[in-house]
Structure 1
Amino acid sequence: MELEVRHLRALVTVADEGSITKAAAALGLPQPALSAQVRRIERAVGDEVFVRGRTGVVATSFGRGLLAKARGVLREMDDLVVLAQQQNRREVVLGDAGMVLAEVVPRLEAELGDGGHDVRVHIDVAAGALVQMLRAGKLDAALVSEPVGFETADAQGLRRETVVPLEPVFIGIWERHPLAARTEIDLADLAGESWIVNPQDNPGWLAALRVACAERGFEPRIAYEAVHQAGARAFVGSGRCVAIADALSVEGRGVVFRPLAGDPVRGRIDLAWTDRCPVPAGVLSRVVREAYAALVDRNPVYSAWWARHAA
């Protein structure tokens, strides 16, 4: 008799369950058939793997050594199956906290061609949620946006590369606000304003804002909370409040976006991915950088900021 993977899995299941009866149920086999299989395996390896008793089975000294090797083989086999699945996958699932993937997806689809992968997207403002989805295998890669110096998402164990090393935080403000005429706004000039924030956002952004405001002698008055972006924008557009905003935000519906003088709150965008990602990281990184540059070029306010920053 030659040992097969199914034999090793049967032994490990028996050891984990501590009972032939329970292991048979877990494996979908009749209990007598599994008992007979274990006996054949023991004859093949030349020694007892389990000692049987009234309360179940316990691995012998020989069995513990055999089971350790069996678990190693099963892990290797599972890895091979995952690798084969990756090679055959025709889908890539990407995550983002903002609007960059709207430009990334068509570019990536063009890059992969007709025989490429289907691209799916999940948008979540919380960087920590994206990282958890990466770890759970629900995402292949994600754009993780974090405030510099106030990072909260633990991406340890994931592959990660910075694609936008500095992203300024803009202020969303009513288009008829006296400060809207400026090309940039001093944070100190917002001391008397009410603010609207997203309580489900990365808490690091609010922490960074509070610290920057404290350095200018005031505490931001958080008057409103909104998890709905359009609802928050409507409040800003009514002139009732201001908000921190993505620098790529497009003006309209009564709202304009302005950079803060000196960029007191700064962000960074990283590309994080798992080993199971079916698209090479180098391709994703290049496409993301190109997409981001294209979005900047289409946004006059942000494009002007980049021109000043480069100078």
Structure 2
Amino acid sequence: MALEIRHLRAICAIAEAGSLSQAAAALGMSQPSLTSLLQRLERQIGTPLFVRSHTGVTPTPVGEQTLRRALVLLLEFDRFEADVLGTAGDGPVRLGSSQMDCLPTFIERLDEALPSIELTVHIEPSSSVLAQALAHATLDIAVIAMSDDQEVPLAKHLGHRVLFPWIPVFIGLPARHRLAGETEVDLADLADDAWIGPPGPEDGSLTSLRAATHRAGFTPKIRFECPNGGGRQLIAAGQAVQLVEPTAPELPGMVVKPLKGDPMRMRLVLAWRKERLTWDQTEHVYRAAMTSYTRHAMASTPFRSWWDRRRTTQAWDGLVGFFGEAVS
């Protein structure tokens, strides 16, 4: 079996995700197909590329070496492909984004980096809707937040890069909540609270919440639905709790707290239509998203405190490389 670009993409996707199921979803293929492809590659090479365990997969020394070379080759191939395809279509570039508190800064940085491009922005809480919009060319590029245990397949013709392999999900509490003074909140201690449901259709976030609370021994009492996000006035009024992005600001009457043990996590992915943006344009979007999110995270007292407690432990899973520079 001759090595192909798709094999290199598979190796990189598995290493990025740390999970065969999540890598398969990112590649738009089934997990059995990806497992079979990896096994054939390892037989051809004559040694394992990844070590499997109940917590996921990690590269072997040979896998690390293979991964480094694959990343270089794919970077050059993607740049070549983007330059050959060029940009297609007239009109503004249509950016989609999950709801992020750093969005105003992100857009400001994009306007500065790409002054010749007219940009329109669509905010969408559903990761599946964003992925489908890219696949059907109603969006050109998107920042997608995916629950860590959620499989959102991206169409094969799309380019994608992982912005952050994982970031925690925090909880928004009323300032007068009985747990508001805690450093971290145990999810199980919220069993009797009224909840604001995650925004968007039930394509991952609500499923992840129910799975996490099931592991904690309860079913969340979802009293409020806010399809377009928001709901923070309800929190400030003491009527509900809600999952929030870890960079969410603490508004009057509301506090933001990490969940003990990080029972819920998400990853941020940049995906785009290769025929619509050049490699250099995509790189500007990538850097603007990374810089905006990182600086907002480090300016957030709840996130910064969480980071300071975990940055020297294995629980950080290598994210120090993403946030360490921002605080050095």
Q: Taking structure 1 as the reference length, what is the TM-score of the superposition?
A: 0.67
CA displacement at 1:286 relative to structure 2: 1.9
Moved more, 89-98 or 160-169: 89-98
Q: Deviations over 1:191-218 (max 9, x none)?
A: 1111111462453122222222222221
CA displacement at 1:101 relative to structure 2: 3.2
Could you say if the C-alpha distance between residues 133 and 273 of structure 1 is closer, same or farther in structure 2, counting changes exceeding 3 Å? Answer: same
- Aligned-pair identity (%): 32
What's 1:129 paired with? Answer: 129
Could you say if the C-alpha distance between residues 83 and 190 of structure 1 is closer, same or farther in structure 2, counting changes exceeding 3 Å? Answer: same
Q: Does 1:297 align with 2:315?
A: no
Larger radius of gyration: 1
Q: Taking structure 2 as the reference length, what is the TM-score of the superposition?
A: 0.64
Once the two structures are superposed, the pairs formed by residues 148-297 of structure 1 within 5 Å of their partners are: 148-151=148-151, 153-157=152-156, 158-198=158-198, 200-230=200-230, 232-280=231-279, 281-297=282-298
Moved more, 278-287 or 173-182: 278-287
Say whether the 8 Å CA contact 2:193–2:221 is kept in structure 1: yes
Say whether the 8 Å CA contact 1:89–1:278 is kept in structure 2: no
Q: Deviations over 1:95-145 (max 9, x none)?
A: 1011243222211222224xx212221101011111121122221110111
Could you say if the C-alpha distance between residues 102 and 160 of structure 1 is closer, same or farther in structure 2, counting changes exceeding 3 Å? Answer: same
Unmatched 5+ stretches in structure 2: 1-83, 313-328
Say whether the 8 Å CA contact 2:174–2:180 is kept in structure 1: yes
- The 3-state SS of whatever aligns with 2:154 is coil
In 2: Cα distance, 1:304 partner to 1:271 partner: 27
In 1: Cα distance, 2:191 partner to 2:150 partner: 22
CA displacement at 1:89 relative to structure 2: 4.8
CA displacement at 1:279 relative to structure 2: 4.5
In 2: Cα distance, 1:149 partner to 1:93 partner: 28
What's 1:91 paired with? Answer: 92
- The 3-state SS of whatever aligns with 2:251 is coil
Superposition RMSD on alpha carbons, in Å?
2.1
In 1: Cα distance, 2:235 partner to 2:306 partner: 22
Say whether the 8 Å CA contact 1:128–1:202 is kept in structure 2: no
What's 1:28 paired with? Answer: none
Aligned partner of 1:271: which letter? L
In 2: Cα distance, 1:123 partner to 1:203 partner: 16
Give the paired residue count.
225
